[in-house]
A and B are shown apart, each in its own frame.
Chain A
Amino acid sequence: MAKDISRRNFLRGGLAAAAGVAASPIILPTAAQAASGRELCTLLDLSKCIGCEECVSACREQWQPTVPDPVSPMPRPFPAKVPVQDWSGRKDVSDRLTPYNFLYVEHLDVPHKGQEIELHVPRRCMHCLNPPCADLCPFGAGRVENNGVVHIDPEVCLGGAKCKTVCPWKIPQRQSGVGIYLDIMPELAGNGVMFKCHRCLPLVEKGQQPRCVEVCPEQVQSIGPREQILAQAEALARAKATEDGASPDKWQDYVYGLTENGGTTTIYVSPMPFAAVAAAIEQNHAASAQPGRGRAARAKQGGRKKKRGFGGRPPMGPVEDVMAKADNLSLALVLAPVAGLAAGFTRLFGKKFKADDGDSKGEAA
């Protein structure tokens, strides 16, 4: 697989080298983590998935008890337009992402080459390589571990939902009435805690597999070092493209998560191009939207409320790299002080000022 030398990779390497020179043993570039095999990645072969939802049950059984119930009565946030989001009475919901449900399965009939093909797509956090949810969290609650897991610390999160706003798939889900914001200014700032898949971080840290990987009767998912998983994904996608009557060179059309949002550690391989899968998901969501209910429905009906999320059911279309511009601007952060120093040492613009009293130092500068 050809590797792109993107500006991100260039910056990553350069900045990481600078960090290394600064003799900080705790800083390692993401690329180095991947090379050392410590960054883990999952591969989902969708042609194997039978939609039994064993993964969903195992995930819920393991992690739902870790999500607390809200206080009662729940604080009323100020101003009144701030929504209180309480899923504690709907813990049984398993057909979308909620604070109490980190994984669901999208059941689809995908029109492809004149046929309707049944496809089941487990959906959860993609665990991006450079996740905007963690990068842009103002309090450090959003975190990236060196094993590639992206998670939210419920002890620190204030529930502002910024992570959801900047996530291209709107994955994190808020539960109001829980978390540290209750101890600060519950009416004026914060609104709960954001919850999402952490790929069973406590288990993975003990050397165990994520529950969804472990319990799957069809071995839909595999987990391993990213480079190894990418090689597997490419081989599998080439085979799927060939079976589908396409050129093996079109293998990337059968892969999702490889380049989306700059790359993720969740790679899907489908028996048909993902454009068809994305269209089927969109159609599925449109069909299941109940008229007159929910923000999305109101937006569709021309109401004043705008659609902010995907109703806990993320799409699967192309996604641009949210943090790409930050990469470019990082270069400005390096160049600006260098230019400033160069201008200062060469007295650029410095001769245009002088001390009002004619002080020699001022004139020299």
Chain B
Amino acid sequence: MSKHDYSPGGRVAVWLYGIAIGLALFSGFGQMPLYNRYYLTSVPGLGWSGNFIALSELHYFAAALFMGLVAWRLALDTRAGGTWSWGPRSWWGWSLIALLVLSGGAKALRNAGVFLPPLALMLLDFVHLGSAMAFMFSGLVSLFRPRKKQYLRGGLA
């Protein structure tokens, strides 16, 4: 076991982190009108996924959970340091999270009625979508790449 492989909160935190990411990705990609077109809404139990308002609210919930966990880890990091068994392990991951939070936060401002210049908003939309896709693929690569046995303990897998 690596001396750097910490798991704050144990399995609960790992699962919450994974659930937050999964829900955020599902509800985020569902903002594009594709689930109804490609019959996902016809899958029993997923009829609600065609409701854009419900998906938007789910995205807010997932984002809040995600940001709460990441903030908690960041604060613990300043006290303990080290590399942890969940969450990003590199500057790349942290950069993507920063982009996601900033662009998503700006979108939330707009949704609360704050005026943002339309072109800036469009740029933020594409930054949010692009960084989410990069985060998803990076996470999948990280999750399934061959690695030493100890890193599987307490991770997302």
State in angstroms the CA–CA spacing of A129 and B112 once bound together: 10
Would you call the interface of chain B mostly helix, strand, loop, or mixed?
A: helix
**How many whole Å from A109's CB to the nearest CB in chain B?**
36
**How many whole Å from B94's CB to the nearest CB in chain A?**
14
Instruction: Answer yes or no: A361 CB below 8 A from chain B CBs.
Output: yes
Let me know if A333 and B111 touch, CB within 8 A: no
Instruction: Write out, one digit per residue, whether chain B residues 66-94 have a CB within 8 A of any chain A CB (1) or not (0).
Output: 01111111111111111000000000000
Let me know if A29 and B67 touch, CB within 8 A: no
Let me know if B76 and A365 touch, CB within 8 A: yes
State in angstroms the CA–CA spacing of A356 and B82 once bound together: 13
Let me know if B113 and A30 touch, CB within 8 A: yes
- A333 and B114 contact, Cβ closer than 8 Å, known pairs A19-B109, A344-B76: no
Let me know if A356 and B1 touch, CB within 8 A: yes
Let me know if A349 and B122 touch, CB within 8 A: no
Instruction: Write out, one digit per residue, whether chain A residues 20-31 have a CB within 8 A of any chain B CB (1) or not (0).
Output: 000000111111
Within the complex, which residue of B5, B37, B65 is in contact with A336, where a contact is CB–CB below 8 Å? B65
State in angstroms the CA–CA spacing of A26 and B110 once bound together: 13
Closest to A148 in B: B115
Let me know if A336 and B68 touch, CB within 8 A: yes
Let me know if A343 and B115 touch, CB within 8 A: no
**How many whole Å from B40's CB to the nearest CB in chain A?**
12
Let me know if B71 and A344 touch, CB within 8 A: yes
**How many whole Å from A140's CB to the nearest CB in chain B?**
3
Instruction: Answer yes or no: B157 CB below 8 A from chain A CBs.
Output: no
- A352 and B10 contact, Cβ closer than 8 Å, known pairs A337-B71, A344-B79: yes
- Please provide the chain A residues from 322 to 365 with a CB less than 8 Å away from any CB of chain B in the complex: 322-323, 325-327, 329-330, 332-333, 335-345, 347-350, 352-357, 359, 361-362, 364-365
Let me know if B121 and A143 touch, CB within 8 A: yes
Instruction: Answer yes or no: B26 CB below 8 A from chain A CBs.
Output: no
Task: Select the stretch in A7-15, A114-122, A295-303 that faces chain B.
Answer: A7-15
Instruction: Answer yes or no: B32 CB below 8 A from chain A CBs.
Output: yes
Let me know if A138 and B32 touch, CB within 8 A: yes
- A329 and B115 contact, Cβ closer than 8 Å, known pairs A138-B129, A341-B71, A356-B5: no
Instruction: Answer yes or no: A175 CB below 8 A from chain B CBs.
Output: no
Within the complex, which residue of B33, B61, B81 is in contact with A329, where a contact is CB–CB below 8 Å? B61
Within the complex, which residue of A79, A326, A343, A344 is in contact with B57, where a contact is CB–CB below 8 Å? A326
Within the complex, which residue of A79, A139, A327, A357 is in contact with B122, where a contact is CB–CB below 8 Å? A139
Given the complex, which residues of B lie within 8 Å of A341, measured CB to CB?
Answer: 71-72, 74-75
Interface size on A, residues (CB 8 A): 73
State in angstroms the CA–CA spacing of A162 and B6 once bound together: 44
- Please provide the chain B residues from 27 to 73 with a CB less than 8 Å away from any CB of chain A in the complex: 31-34, 37-39, 52-53, 56-57, 60-61, 63-65, 67-73
Let me know if A140 and B113 touch, CB within 8 A: no
State in angstroms the CA–CA spacing of A171 and B75 once bound together: 47
- A337 and B115 contact, Cβ closer than 8 Å, known pairs A332-B60, A362-B82: no
- Please provide the chain A residues from 20 to 77 with a CB less than 8 Å away from any CB of chain B in the complex: 26-33
Let me know if B115 and A30 touch, CB within 8 A: yes
Let me know if A165 and B120 touch, CB within 8 A: no
Instruction: Write out, one digit per residue, whether chain A residues 114-147 have a CB within 8 A of any chain B CB (1) or not (0).
Output: 0000000000000001101001111111011110
Given contacts A138-B32, A338-B71, 19 further A-B contacts (CB under 8 A): A11-B112, A16-B109, A27-B109, A28-B115, A30-B113, A79-B37, A79-B39, A140-B122, A143-B118, A144-B115, A160-B33, A165-B52, A326-B112, A329-B57, A329-B60, A330-B108, A330-B112, A343-B75, A345-B79
Residues on A close to B: CB < 8 A? 8, 11-12, 15-16, 19, 26-33, 79, 82, 129-130, 132, 135-141, 143-146, 153, 156, 160-162, 165-166, 189, 322-323, 325-327, 329-330, 332-333, 335-345, 347-350, 352-357, 359, 361-362, 364-365
